[in-house]
Structure 1
């Protein structure tokens, strides 16, 4: 039976007119953009600790989440700005305390209810919970919902009255990470993780022999082998022979892998120095695409990538142990060839003998859905199930980890811990297993660092399988982290997780636990008008396949937690993707998650947000994407759901330490419920209102120091606020004006309102390509700009990107860049910007005479104010050391001489043209 959650009343009436009962919030008029920008690169503002606790995708920095929640809940008062900046930039506990009091005063009838309908790992609810609000998070993914509980629920609870856990801490006193007065939850999670490690190591000991010193190696290098199509001998697919770089220490030459050929067999060998052999699986010199080369000298047959893939689908792959990684005191990590005993032990695993977990097989047998080659890369090579993403020994290790965690929960309950606390400790152990999955499977490659000229250090580690955002990588040679101590092992992952948990607890001492439940955003389990604010970070269009990428976690977590959290994991198969609001990448057959589906479902989700919001409530959407189509669909969904956008505040989040910087700017978009009975307006009227509103906002943004390129995104807010005032906006032909019109108009208004230092000449008197180029340079200088942003810029001047390519812009894989080199030619139809570029190039070739010739050829007057204004503008934007700046500086200094010469050249050209015309009547028909 579905239950509903009713939030405490704040005195608003659900039937009141929104237009007369909306309290203004900070976000409607102000946002600490510069503070967020400054904070995202710091440990406190990046949210490193919060993200390290649980693996999820595309999380925005904690500083942006904090700013969004604070400005949504706080009243629009200038005296709060300083404390908000302190809270965002430094996490000041004093400032946060004062802001909590201000929020409490704003909601005298009870704590405000803040809902995130796409809560993910729970970053936004965590910040709301820390402020004392009633924080609620919902997400369609059970994996994400668990992450929210671990981050923003359990760390904020009081567990001090719980019975003692029946395990030792697992650490010697000198190795303790924390003091004796550490929080109860932290101490007990550490004890549970240590107990899991101990039990798993014992269970898998027969399959991981100790080395000559009695220690378990920390890592094992494997490769998949295939039979050669020509000689039929099996050989491993190795993409790189380097094991580690030389450190620069005397006698340390680094290590490499070699294949020793002995008749019809091969064996691995570890040697000192740089690689002497070529990889067996690589791209041939000068050719694209990898191929597999048989290493036997008498053969050398080359197999195409398609052939290699076909062998996988034909079940011809086998896993081969190539090298063993050891930790040597005083030397560090080194590699050696595996012993015969190690090879035998590794291949002796029999997964068929493992007991199941309730209704689920021991090793995940859930099939990877078709069409997932882009997200689950191994599925494109013949691996059909999630369990097959590991070799047998890796699967055994994780199976025994599940078994140990489940056994420990039984022991915790027997020790009279409450069910809630036993479940919480079990969940943290399962999350540690999930985080370890990031450095397991066939996508966990050996990462060797160093080898540069300074040789300041070299090291090796296990690479993250999500190195490419949310795509589960795959390669034929991969590294297995064993049950020992080292990068990627349980011990290593536990240490980083405990440090993260400690910081989360320390930063949440004044908050109250958040509430998390699995729910679809289009069917929220809450009553009408029961939420004060919805602050959310929706799925970013086609950037991430959240459910498909996290199914790897889901299949293991449900084996561990199916009866611990039955609301999340007691389900057959994979995660339900019916209501997942994304645009699915790849070519999955019958895929329903299309662009139209995304827009329709997002609109329905915002409609649900409107239903549960109080009449004076606010919706804030944090969104980032480089594709203008994604923006159109998002803003269209908000409009269709009955919201008016009141503000948009950009933050530059690319400096956050996330490991991936796929989004450079994210925007906090403030919204309110649209008023009833909105009037109809003409497009001409709304065009004027939007332009005036944006230009007024630009003056305010200039005073606040908001960067010009950020103002372009911020302009969507006031433009959409005007757009949302009207039920219909009619064009002269009677059709309705589209949202796109006002996105473009907003950017144009910013440009028109910005002083471009063009000698006070009216901007409209410059030709469109010059306006475009000058503004582009002001925004981006010589940086590469994504195609979507470039197209947006062109639309502001009613230009087509295709017409600008070559003439004003160069295109590469990185995007578009403004041309400052010489155009191929100039004439009377050339833009002023092109003429100035030609003048700069001509100075280097012919000094004043060359420049004068360009001015004359372009049919410009030597004293053309527009020409010299653009010269001055380009100089203002370039560093003095730039070659174009040096040339134009010289041109500017010699303007008088150039003008005289240009007049002389123009006179000669005119005379020459007259002479040509005089000879025309005397030409013959034959000529």
Structure 2
């Protein structure tokens, strides 16, 4: 735990030393942030916010620990007491510490609580933490789906619903009794309960909201199951139990023999499990003349999938299974058949839960089950809230990267399901709309809307397990050595991409993974934990749909803004949530008119994206307005609006993460151009997001305040010196606070821009304005220099740029793999490009980049010192002559001080057992002999031969 004192004189000067109400007082975010505590907390259930995030499907979730730290550090001044209590509140969630912090916030802001605004509220995590801190929390988002998510988390759970009349439904429904029986200690079905808790059966003394949400979910499930009886026949042999899932596959006509066959990616139904003597199950295709039939067998599959990539190769293709054909169809041909309307769905297998073993058992469909599925008729459905009963809204052009089915000929959001699935969801949406009308007669309009909102949110949860992208997930191993659970896969594979599969699971109205009862239990458990966490008397947050470029607030009315803007091109929020939006319009049009009545729709009937601030991949090619230029201009406009509504002494904290340094530069430029002074940047290792564009592991909380008026013009040389001094001074503080060296590199941006922000602009002697990128590079270089690395008598500055980077990389990361984004940031320390480092200095791996310690290629006079030393280490097993040849090949003096300083340094830095260290230690001991041989050999050239002893692998 940090023991840093209150804000120092130097830090006070750096932030202006402002304490009166006409200026901007220093806040903790300007000088300190609990980075180590956040890093630790995000790995815990409480600090990660798993319950809060589990309440609703949204993207790029913000961990509770980081949001809490950002809110508290933005509100409070820098004192020792505040630092200690924030560390306890963030790391351990201590209630006593939070109470003390709330008390100090109340004292500081007087009778009226401070107003904390999030202009990109998403699921409402920041707004929730603002209410827990005792502030008035306001969150806005352009997306109606995100706004709904925020209300479910930070609005409805904080309201007092105790005076509401009782609901007109009995909680003791057959659906609830079934759940209670499943959870009883003696029940053979107990393990099938999603959480092992009571789920829909309820608990005595639970909060009113939780109990009533439970009742409404149960009522929806009961009505849906009743109305869908004809579509999903039960199994008389299992007491009428309805199967939990059905395995389907798309079929195509063969170009070789014209016979139709299914596209199957895996023949495994359930892997074996030795511990329970489970042989597993596999799918087979039985060919009978011109037709095929599915067959389920025990054991491992004996047939190859019909849609897969050849062993050891990439790129899937479809192979006709008829023995006298075997024609292979490329992926492009398969896609073309979809656009030509040649896809037909076929049911392959039915999945049930054995009541005796709780095992997921597969069997072939019965004739009545196949007939029931074939009878699914969408034309028989009636409209919902004046809309078509299922989403006929077209998937917009250019969405094949994030709605993958659109790349295979599926053109509407309704087509992402087979007809029977669509009827199930349409029935669910209509029942929720009907319940809203009934509830309005019994309870307040606000409570009716809240209860139906939770019910509708369950549709989004079920969509994750119930489209053509929901693969059958069969855990375990073919040898039976691992648990072999079977469940429906998540359609969101990488934060936001809606995946596609030709063989997919249809989850029915029964009980099992992905069914209504299962996702209801998950929702209720998440809501229960959120309610238990809300232990403070706090008013609900106010969440509304609005645009960040037109904030609906008067000038200078907001105390603090804490926000998490879109991450450039990493997630297409609206495009990926339109699937949910299309269904919410039908279920909630009457309940939430401000979000789903259609008045706010875009021209395509989906969410309005005209002011969505993202970079849409392939925008220019597809005629989409969400280009890089659009993102930058709109982000600047939103920050200008933030500046307008923020009080003169207000602060703004922006949380941002991206692997591309250019994205960082644009964000920081938008802040400064909008009239803010960046005061700090605090990294947190909160992310494991793989988005299809990049992998990020770090997000940064950036502190900013309103730029004071009448700032002077700065002279480049003077400002450069101030930046270097400021960063090096802060490095000493960061060391004391336990901030890791790689995190200090990112924190240096804020320290540098804090200095730059004292000036209206910085110019060179010829009047040219100095770029922001210059100070980003200078800041990182100052951190590197602050480490005060000296190799023998050679300071780091005298080495060539590639060697400087290698030395500093080794100091920070050692032999670890570094994500590509962080590697690019690292290269900025010496204004280097990662492309130039790949090969001579770095090796690319699956995880990113790693510093090379193996033998280099051929050495030349232009080779870096680091390459020369690596060559000497690699060639040492051949003796002193080979090691000396590396010096002559690179045309280095035998007594080159940099070479021998690096040999000595690396020999002490590497682990004792490392073969490179062993070789360099021998080189060091034989220095005199190597030098003598190099002198006598003159310019003799010997190529360096890589040795397997030092090979690097990816």
Q: TM-score, normalised by structure 2?
A: 0.90
Partner Cα distance (1:843, 1:798) in 2: 33
Shift of the alpha carbon at 1:80? 1.3
1:660-704 deviation digits (Å, cap 9, x = unpaired): 994200000000011111111221111111111111111111111
What are the equivalent positions in structure 2 for 1:455-466 lying under 5 Å apart?
Answer: 455-466=481-492
Say if 1:654 and 1:661, in contact at 8 Å, map to a contact too: no
Give the distance between the partners of 1:282 and 1:702, measured in 2 at CA.
52
CA gap 1:447/1:142 in 2 versus in 1, 3 angstroms: same
Counterpart of 2:120 in structure 1 is 118
Which residue pairs with 2:449 in the alignment? 423
Task: Give the Cα–Cα distance (whole angstroms) in 2 for the partners of residues 186 and 760 of structure 1.
Answer: 69
State the Cα distance separating 1:330 from its structure 2 match: 1.5
Structure 1 counterpart of 2:930, from 894, 902, 916: 902
Residues 116-195 of structure 1 aligned to structure 2 (within 5 Å): 116-169=118-171, 170=173, 171-172=176-177, 175=183, 176-177=198-199, 179-195=203-219
For the residue of structure 2 that corresponds to 1:796, the secondary structure is helix
Q: Distance in 1 between matches of 2:496 and 2:702?
A: 25
Aligned position for 1:58: 60
Q: Offset of 1:595 from its aligned partner? A: 0.5
Change (3 A) 1:861 1:304: closer
Moved more, 86-95 or 405-414: 405-414
More moved, 726-735 vs 601-610 = 726-735
**Residue pair 2:744, 2:783 contacting (<8 A) in 1 also:** yes
Q: Is contact 1:228-1:235 (8 Å) kept? A: yes
Partner in structure 2 of residue 919 of structure 1:
none
Instruction: Pick the aligned partner of 1:93 from 71, 92, 95.
Output: 95
Q: Does 1:108 align with 2:120?
A: no
Q: Residue by residue, what CA displacement relative to the aligned partner does 1:596-646 show, whole Å, maximum 9, x if unpaired?
A: 110100000000001010111101000000011110110011011110100
Residue 227 of structure 2 corresponds to residue 203 of structure 1: yes
Q: 1:772 to 1:75 in 2, by over 3 A?
A: same
Paired residues for 1:197-346 under 5 Å: 197-211=221-235, 212-213=237-238, 214-249=240-275, 251-285=277-311, 287-328=313-354, 329-330=356-357, 332-346=359-373
Q: Shift of the alpha carbon at 1:403? A: 1.8
Q: 1:540·1:625 contact (CA, 8 Å) conserved in 2?
A: yes
CA distance in 2, matches of 1:797, 1:660: 25
Alignment of 1:577-596 (within 5 A): 577-587=609-619, 589-596=622-629
Runs of 4+ deviating beyond 4 Å? 16-20, 655-661, 855-865, 910-913
For residues 871 and 477 of structure 1, do their structure 2 counterparts lie closer, same or farther at Cα, with a shift above 3 Å needed? same
Matched positions, count: 892
Q: 1:843-922 residue pairs with structure 2 within 5 A?
A: 843-846=876-879, 848=880, 850-855=882-887, 858=890, 860=892, 864-892=896-924, 894=925, 898-910=926-938
Deviations 1:820-851 (A, max 9, x none): 111223455432212221222122332x5543
Q: Distance in 2 between matches of 1:551 and 1:866?
A: 59
Question: Cα 1:873–1:219, aligned 2, differ >3 Å: closer, same or farther?
Answer: farther
| Mapped partners of 1:321, 1:862: distance in 2 | 76
Q: Distance in 1 between matches of 2:861 and 2:310?
A: 51
Match in the other structure for 1:769: 802
How far apart are 1:453 and its partner, in Å? 5.9
Distance apart, 1:272 and its partner CA: 1.4
Verify: 1:722 aligned to 2:755, yes or no: yes
Please name the residue that 2:952 is paired with.
none
Aligned to 1:617: 650
User: For residues 713-862 of structure 1, what are the structure 2 equivalents within 5 Å?
Assistant: 713-759=746-792, 761-812=794-845, 814-826=847-859, 828-846=861-879, 848=880, 850-855=882-887, 858=890, 860=892
2:468 matched residue in structure 1 = 442
Unaligned runs of 5+ in 2: 1-17, 184-197, 942-954
In structure 2, the CA distance between the partners of 1:19 and 1:100, relative to structure 1 (3 Å rule), is closer
Cα offset, 1:799, TM superposition: 3.5
CA distance in 2, matches of 1:117, 1:18: 27
In structure 1, what is the Cα distance between the partners aligned to 2:156 and 2:70? 23
Residue 376 of structure 2 is matched in structure 1 by 349
Which of residues 576, 579, 589 in structure 1 aligns to 2:608?
576
2:12 maps to which residue? none
Partners of 2:479 and 2:726 in 1: CA distance:
56
Is contact 1:48-1:658 (8 Å) kept? no
Q: What's the Cα RMSD here?
A: 2.3
**CA displacement at 1:268 relative to structure 2:** 0.5
Q: Taking structure 1 as reference, are residues 781 and 636 closer, same or farther at Cα in structure 2, changes over 3 Å only?
A: same
Q: Structure 1 residues 409 and 859, CA, compared in 2 at 3 Å: closer, same or farther?
A: same
Residue 501 (structure 1) aligns with = 527
How far 1:763 moved relative to its partner? 2.0
Alpha-carbon contact 1:41-1:657 (below 8 Å) kept: no
Distance 1:537 1:146, change over 3 A: same
Q: CA deviation at 1:226?
A: 1.1
Is the Cα contact below 8 Å between 1:69 and 1:127 reproduced in 2?
Answer: yes
Deviation at 1:331, TM superposition (A): 5.1
CA–CA distance in structure 2, aligned partners of residues 115 and 356 of structure 1: 39
| 1:521-600 mapped onto 2 (5 Å cutoff) | 521-571=548-598, 572=601, 573-587=605-619, 589-600=622-633
| Distance in 2, Cα, partners of 1:202 & 1:378 | 31
TM-score by length of 1: 0.93
CA distance in structure 1 between the aligned counterparts of 2:77 and 2:558, rounded to whole angstroms: 17
Cα distance change on mapping 1:257 and 1:622 into 2, 3 Å: same
- Give the superposition deviation at 1:853: 4.5
Q: 1:221 to 1:277 in 2, by over 3 A?
A: same
Q: Is the 8 A contact 1:156 1:509 kept in 2?
A: no
- Note if contact 1:42-1:656 (Cα within 8 Å) is conserved in structure 2: no
CA distance in 2, matches of 1:690, 1:778: 23
Structure 1 residues 452 and 888: alpha-carbon distance in aligned structure 2, compared to 1, 3 A threshold: farther
Which segment is superposed worse, 681-690 or 633-642? 681-690
Q: Which stretch of structure 1 is more off in the superposition, 534-543 or 804-813?
A: 804-813
Conservation of the 8 A alpha-carbon contact between 1:52 and 1:500: yes
> 2: distance between equivalents of 1:911 and 1:525?
75
CA 1:468–1:657: 2 relative to 1, 3 Å: closer
Q: Which segment is superposed worse, 238-247 or 784-793? A: 784-793
| Deviation for aligned residue 1:912 | 8.6
Is the CA contact 2:660–2:824 (under 8 Å) kept in the aligned structure 1? no
Q: Measured at CA, do residues 400 and 31 of structure 1 come closer, stay the same or move farther in structure 2, by a change above 3 Å?
A: same
Residue matched to 2:546:
519
